[in-house]
Structure 1
Amino acid sequence: MPVPARRLPSWAWVTGLTAGAIAAVVVLTAQAENGPHPTASVAKGPKASASASAKPSAAPKPSAPSQAATVPEKSGTGRRVVYSLGQHRVWLVDADDTARRAFTVWPGTVNPAVGSYTVSVRKDAVTGSDGVAIEHVVYFSAASGVNIAFSNAVDGSSPPPAAAGAQTGGIRMAKADGTALWAFGETGTKVRVVD
C-alpha cells in the first residue's frame, strides 16, 4: 500500500525562501565591500574646438571668475542667452542683468551673425550633423543654409574635429551646461550674439 506524500505547510516554504534570500544578500554585500569603489571626479569643461581645417584647436583659456561673470557690454537687457563669438562663451542672464551661469563652448564651423534672435525650436535629442547623439538642442538661427543651435553630446564628450569643408552649426557645451541652458532657454527666450 503506497504511503501518501506529506506536504509542507506554506509557512515553512515562505520561511525557507526568506532565509535563502537573506543569505544571498549577505553574500553579495560581502563581495561588494571587497570590490572596487567608484570615486568622484570633477567634470571638466570644453578643451578643444572643431575647425574647418579638421585640426582640433584649444578652446579659449578660461577667464578669471570676475571676467566670466561679467556680461558683455552691448548684449541687450533683460532675461537672455548671450553668446560671444570671439570668447566662445555663453552667459545665461536673468531679468536683472545678472549672469546666472557662464561657460565656454565648442563652436561649429558656421557662425551666426552678430545680432538678436529668439529660441525658435527645442528638441530633446537628435543626431548631430557630425553623427554624434546630442541632447538639449536649442535652435535660434540659421546661416548659409545651416541651422544654428546650442546642444551637448549625450555622452558628455567634446565634438570630433569637423571634416574638411563640413558645415556644422552646433554650438556644443559640457553636459551640465547643456542641462542648464535647456532649463533656461525656453521657446521665445532672447538670444544675443556678440563679437
Structure 2
Amino acid sequence: MEEDYGNTFDSNATRYLKTIDQATKRMSVLVKALLMYARIGRDQKLIFTDLNRILSEVLSDLENLILNSNAKIISDPLPSMNVYEVEFRQLIQNLISNAIKFSKKGIDPEIRIRCEKEEDYCHFSVQDNGIGIDSKYVDRIFFIFQRLHLKEEYEGHGIGLAHCKKIIELHNGRIWVESDSEVGSNFHFIIPNLN
C-alpha cells in the first residue's frame, strides 16, 4: 500500500502503516516460533549420538556470535547417548546463545558446560557469568512467551527456554536453573539413559 499510495499519505498514515508492518513481522516470527515449539519431537527417533559432535556443530554455527562477544566456552568431555538429535542440538544452541545474549555489559561471557554421567542418567549444566535471573522468576522463564526484559534491552520473544523445557521433557528429563545476579546462571538438566 505504501508503495502504491505512499505519496498521498500524510505523516500519521505513514507512521500507522509502518507500525502495522512491524507488528505483522513480529506476529509472523511468533507464529513460526510457535509452530517450531509444537513440532518438537514430532516423528523423531532416538539416535545414539556423540554429544561432543553436537556441541562442535553448535559452536561452529554460533561462531560469529562467539567471536563478536569475545565469549569463552569450556566444556567437559560429553558422553554419547540416545537423544533426539535435532532437538538436543537446539537445546544446546539455545542455552549457549542465551548465555551470550544475557552477558554483563563490559564483561566477556564465560560459559562452562559440565556433564556428570551416572548409572541411569546424565546431569548436564551450562553455567555463565551473565546478568543472572531474579529468584522470583526462575520458574516463569520456562513458559512460552515469557520475557523478563524489554525488547529494547535484549532481543527475543520468550520462546527459547520454553523450547529447552519441552526438549528435556521429550527426553523424560527435567531442567532447572540456579541464578545469582553477582555470578550468573547455571542451567541444569538431567536426561535418563534412554533406549
- Same fold per superposition (TM over 0.5): no
* TM-score, scaled to structure 2: 0.29
* TM-score, scaled to structure 1: 0.29
Relative to its length, the structure with more strand (as a share) is 1
Relative to its length, the structure with more helix (as a share) is 2
Q: Whose RCO is larger (CA < 8 A, sep 6+)?
A: 1
Q: Which has the larger radius of gyration?
A: 1
